[in-house]
Amino acid sequence: MQVSIPTIDGALAALYSKQAVPAQTYKGHPIISFPINISGVPAGTHSLAFTFVDHDAIPVGGFTWIHWIAANIPATTTQIPENASQTGAIPMIQGNNSTAGGYVGETDPKVSQHYVGPYPPDKDHRYSFKLFALDTELPLQSGYWLNEFHDAIAGHVLATAKTQVIGRA
């Protein structure tokens, strides 16, 4: 299985990150999600799921920053279009990102339960995207947490695909 995210010299386009113009943000957060290309999904896959996180946030904030998590994407999906997080162009159940936690305390689900783009405060960060092919749909509801996601996929992963992109400071 393979996954790719369009980049410019390895970095996300401004539209999807800190450099987004105000009209492309909500409450100061870049919320337009990037397109995702998927291929080679194995036979027997019933759904797809993914995580998009920033491990480079650990020295800054003390933990991995969750930017976007989603599950129960149809197994036949080959492209998740730009802004699918907000538009619902592809069916998916989205979980909480790190703005929902106690560190930020965001309560608006348009921010806390959807894509919120890279906003590295100190230097360019590396962002990890991991796609999972699953043998089932997950028993998750909107606003689930990353630990619930990992518990739900345990024993159901048929294949994974990873990619990394840079978010500019």
pLDDT tens-digit series, residues 10-22? 999 999 999 999 9
Token pair recorded at residue 164: 């990394």
Q: What are phi and psi of 109, to 5 degrees?
A: -60, -20
The Cα angle at residue 99 between residues 49 and 148, in degrees rounded to 5: 40
* Contacting residues for 5 by C-beta, under 8 A, at least 6 apart: 12, 34, 35, 36, 37, 129, 163, 165
Question: Which pLDDT score, from 0 to 100, does residue 40 have?
Answer: 98
Question: Which pLDDT score, from 0 to 100, does residue 104 have?
Answer: 85
Structural domains present in the chain: 2-167 (3.90.280.10)
Closest CA to 52 of 142, 144, 167, 130: 130
Residues of the chain with confidence (pLDDT) below 50: none
pLDDT tens-digit series, residues 83-94? 999 999 999 999
Q: How many Cα neighbours within 13 Å face the side chain of 91? A: 8
